[in-house]
Amino acid sequence: MSAGDHKMKERKERLSQLAEKLELDIIYTFGSKANEVLEWLEYERFEISISHSSDVDVGVKPCSGRWLSAREKVHLGMMALEDFFQ
């Protein structure tokens, strides 16, 4: 396995662990940075270029019967995903 393959697997595994921990069925990106995030996740890109005028739009779908509390939403957006994409 090449270094790029290892990093891609590592990023995907971290995202999968986050989804499992918070009982999320789907994590997806949309908007102007969606393709850039996919390239980063697949290690075709070294980093995601984010500035004060741009951001990564992320949506989630909890597993069936699961509701995210306000605290969980804040943790997900402000901590878990922000850390993941840096």
pLDDT tens per residue across span 30-71: 998 899 999 988 888 888 877 777 788 899 999 999 999 999
Mean pLDDT of 64-80: 88
State the pTM of this model: 0.76
- Give me the chain's average pLDDT, please: 85
**pLDDT > 70? residue 6:** no
The CA-based diameter of the chain, rounded to the nearest angstrom, is 41
CB atoms within 10 A of CB 55: 13
User: For residues 23 and 72, is the Cβ–Cβ distance under 8 A?
Assistant: no
- Amino acid occupying residue 71: R
**pLDDT > 80? residue 8:** no
